[in-house]
Structure 1
C-alpha cells in the first residue's frame, strides 16, 4: 500500500499534484482596478457624507440616469458599481502604459492626471460638479488627494505584481 501511495504522490495527472496556474497580469490588473475602484469610491462617498467634498460618487449617473432614484441608496450602490467598472478600465490603461515603472510617484501622477481629466476636461458632462474655479477649497483638495491615493494604489499594486511575475519568470529560467 505504501508503494501505491508513493506512486500517487508522483503522478502529475492527479488533481492534488497539479500546480495552480497564476492569474495573468492583465486579469490581475482588472481585479486590482475593480477592488481599487470600489474601495476609493466608498472612501469618496464617506468624504461626501462627512462634507469634506461637494462631489458625490453619484455624479457618474448624471449623464445617463433620469429620476430621483439616483439620489437614494440604490443610486449610491449603482454608482459605486459603475465607478468600480470604470476603474478596471483605468487600471488596464495603467497596465498598458506604465506598468514597468517602480516609483510610487508615477501612480500618484496618474491619479492626478485622472483628476484633471474628470474635473477639467469631462466637467461639462457632470452638471453637479462646478467649474474648477467655483469649487471650494475643501472639495478641491479632498478630491485631488483621493485621486492621488487611488492612483498610488493602482500604480503600486500593478507595478508590484508585474515585478513579482518578472522575478518569478527569471527564477524559473535560472533553475
Structure 2
C-alpha cells in the first residue's frame, strides 16, 4: 500500500477564515444567549432571547415556556451569524479586545435603542430597570469581545508569516 493513501498521512482541508467566523458567530450567539436566558430566569434582567424573537411576535402560552426560550436561543444564534459576518467584513484586521467590546456595545445600542419599537415584548429603554440595562450591556460587551477577538485572532494567525519564512522571524 502506498504511504500517501494511508489515513494518517491524509491532511484535512483547512476551514476558511470566513467559515470559522460564521461558526464563531453561531457559537457566540448560542453561548451568550444562554447566559441571557439564565439572567432572565434568575431575574437579573427583564428580557430574554425569547422576548426578542418569540414573545414580541406571538402572544401564546408556549412562548413563556422552556420551548420558547430554546427557540429564542436558536434564533439569536442564527441571527448572530449575520453579526459575525458584519464584524468579519468591517473589523477583522483590528488587533486587541477593544474593537470587539465596542462592537458589542454598538450592537446593544442598535437593538435596545434603534430597533426597540420592533420588539413589543421588550420595554423601552427609559422603562427598563437599571439591572436590566447593566446586565444586557455586559452580555453584549462579552458577546462582542468573544466575536471580535476570535475573528481577528484567526485572521492574524492565518496571515502571519511562518517561522521558516524569509521575513526575519
State the TM-score, normalizing by the size of structure 2. 0.90
How much is the aligned-residue C-alpha RMSD, in angstroms?
Answer: 1.8
Counterpart of 1:174 (choices 157, 165, 168) is 165
- Asked if the contact 2:92/2:148 (under 8 Å) is kept, the reply is yes
Cα shift at 1:174: 2.7
Aligned match of 2:120: 127
| 1:152 and 2:145 correspond | yes
| 1:142 and 2:145 correspond | no
Greater share of helix:
1
Aligned match of 2:15: 23
Structure 1 runs (4+) deviating above 4 angstroms are: none
List gaps (5 residues or longer) in structure 1: none
State the TM-score, normalizing by the size of structure 1. 0.87
Cα shift at 1:146: 0.5
Structure showing greater Rg: 1
List gaps (5 residues or longer) in structure 2: none
> Secondary structure, in 3 states, of the residue corresponding to 1:171?
coil
Counterpart of 2:26 (choices 27, 34, 37) is 34
